[in-house]
């Protein structure tokens, strides 16, 4: 039985080659680097990962490469969202087969205006089809992209039907009230992760177990500081620091901005590539972003940590 996830999880950016293909080599190196930075888990194939701009086959091939390269499966929470029960259950079987610590599961996201019962039936059918006691499913609530929500009542029904399988939720609603409502339910053995570090401290104070956040790709040490020190007097200052970094980055389109930061600080310009429908930052946006980050004294990962110690 894998241990439940907690702490700072990163929805890992996916590098693409100049020809637009997933770049497995860079991906493996980057995952290693994130773990070395202190990430507790890697939520590969999330929204930030442009996973929904990759085919199921491309995702499975990248996961195979990570495992083959020795990244511990227990630290991986691949996104397995898909519009069909067929594809979602195939992705999950593959992840469970590799021993992944969990999977992050979107609701079916093409058809809008579906009922909670319809979404429940979809998730139930997927779990029944996978039929593995090793499956730990984290629900992925992200209505800005899916429109279809995992509301509190629906979550409660799924936990009740699949106790041991439904293990937690990532709340990317951007709405603290929703996270608070979920935490107030105190579902047993159920880990709630805000989908942004902006809500990390508030989450921890109300029973959350960490966060799964895009900016983890460029700020694991800062975010860990809040996670490790949340009960100390410095917690609010640490939180203010990481909130400032997040707010600075999200003035720009988030995924292209994060890739531009990685390209800059890892001295690897190819990292800036995205897959359509996303667009890379313009030169003017890139210059402005890097200037904004310099203004707030941001520098990447190890460098800042060394400076602080």
111 binds a copy of itself (CB under 8 A): yes
| Cα gap 71→31, rounded to integer Å | 8
Which residue of 20, 25, 97, 163 would you call a contact of a copy of itself, by CB under 8 A?
20
**Smallest distance, a copy of itself to C-beta of residue 24, A:** 15
- Span near a copy of itself by CB under 8 A; candidates 52-60, 71-79, 189-197, 263-271: 52-60
Q: Which of 6, 67, 147, 152 binds a copy of itself (CB under 8 A)?
A: 147
CA 300 to chain centre: 19
Decide if residue 282 touches a copy of itself (CB under 8 A): no
Closest distance to a copy of itself from the beta carbon of 182 (Å): 21
- Of 67-86, binders to a copy of itself (CB under 8 A) are 82-86
Nearer to a copy of itself, 212 or 220 (CB): 212
Does 175 contact a copy of itself by CB under 8 A? no
Residue 189 makes CB contacts below 8 A (sequence gap 6+) with 4, 163, 164, 167
Nearer to a copy of itself (CB atom), residue 226 or residue 257:
257
Q: Which residues contact 219 (CB under 8 A, 6 or more apart)?
A: 197, 242, 245, 246, 298, 300, 301
* Rounded-to-integer distance, Cα 253 and Cα 70, Å: 33
User: Is 250 within 8 Å of 270 (Cβ atoms)?
Assistant: no
Piece of 111-119, 194-202, 213-221, 244-252 that binds a copy of itself (CB under 8 A): 111-119
Q: Which two tokens stand for residue 56?
A: 């199921």
Contact 103, 78 (CB under 8 A): yes
Q: How far apart are CB 1 and a copy of itself at their closest, in Å?
A: 28
Exposure on the CB side of residue 157, measured as CA atoms within 13 A: 13
Residue 214 CB, nearest approach to a copy of itself (Å): 13
Interface residue with a copy of itself, options 35, 73, 74, 125 (CB under 8 A): 125
Kindly state the smallest distance separating residue 47's Cβ from a copy of itself, in Å: 8
Which are the contacts of 100, defined by CB distance < 8 A and separation ≥ 6? 2, 63, 73, 74, 76, 77, 78
Which listed range, 108-116, 131-139, 149-157, 202-210, lies at the site for a copy of itself (CB under 8 A)?
A: 108-116
Residue 15, burial from CB neighbour count under 10 angstroms (0-12, 13-18, 19+): buried
CA 100 – CA 196 distance, rounded (Å): 23
**Among the listed residues 81, 66, 82, 1, the one whose alpha carbon sits nearest the alpha carbon of residue 34:** 66
Asked if 233 is part of the footprint of a copy of itself (rule: CB under 8 A), the reply reads: no
The stretch among 118-126, 155-163, 191-199, 259-267 that binds a copy of itself (CB under 8 A) is: 118-126
Q: Is 269 helix (H, G, I), strand (E, B) or coil?
A: helix
How many residues touch a copy of itself under the rule CB under 8 A: the total is 39
DSSP state of 40: S
- Chain positions contacting a copy of itself, by CB under 8 A: 20, 47, 52-58, 82-87, 90, 107-112, 114-115, 117-119, 121-122, 125, 144-145, 147-148, 275-279
């Amino acid at each position: 039985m894998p241990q439940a996830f907690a702490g700072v999880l990163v929805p890992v950016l996916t590098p693409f080659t100049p020809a637009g293909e997933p770049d497995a080599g860079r991906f493996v190196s980057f995952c290693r680097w994130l773990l070395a930075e202190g990430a507790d888990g890697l939520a590969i194939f999330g929204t930030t990962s442009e996973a929904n701009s990759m085919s199921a086959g491309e995702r499975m091939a990248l996961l195979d490469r990570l495992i083959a390269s020795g990244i511990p499966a227990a630290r991986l929470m691949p996104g397995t969202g898909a519009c069909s029960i067929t594809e979602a259950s195939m992705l999950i079987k593959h992840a469970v087969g590799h021993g992944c610590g969990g999977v992050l599961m979107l609701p079916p996201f093409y058809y809008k205006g579906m009922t909670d019962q319809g979404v429940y039936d979809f998730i139930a059918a997927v779990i029944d089809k996978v039929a593995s006691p090793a499956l730990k499913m984290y629900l992925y609530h992200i209505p800005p992209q899916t429109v279809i929500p995992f509301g509190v009542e629906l979550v409660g029904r799924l936990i009740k039907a699949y106790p041991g399988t439904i293990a937690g939720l990532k709340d990317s609603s951007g709405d603290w009230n929703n996270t608070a409502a979920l935490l107030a339910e105190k579902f047993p053995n159920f880990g709630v992760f805000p989908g942004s570090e902006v809500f990390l401290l508030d989450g921890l104070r109300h029973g959350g177990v960490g966060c799964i956040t895009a900016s983890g790709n460029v700020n694991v040490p800062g975010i860990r500081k809040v996670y490790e020190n949340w009960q100390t007097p410095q917690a609010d200052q640490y939180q203010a620091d990481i909130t400032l970094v997040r707010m600075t980055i999200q003035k720009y389109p988030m995924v292209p901005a994060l890739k531009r930061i990685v390209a800059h600080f890892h001295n690897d310009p190819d990292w800036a590539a995205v897959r359509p429908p996303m667009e890379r930052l313009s030169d003017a946006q890139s210059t402005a972003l890097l200037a904004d980050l310099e203004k707030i004294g941001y520098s990447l990962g190890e460098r800042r940590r060394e400076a602080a110690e």
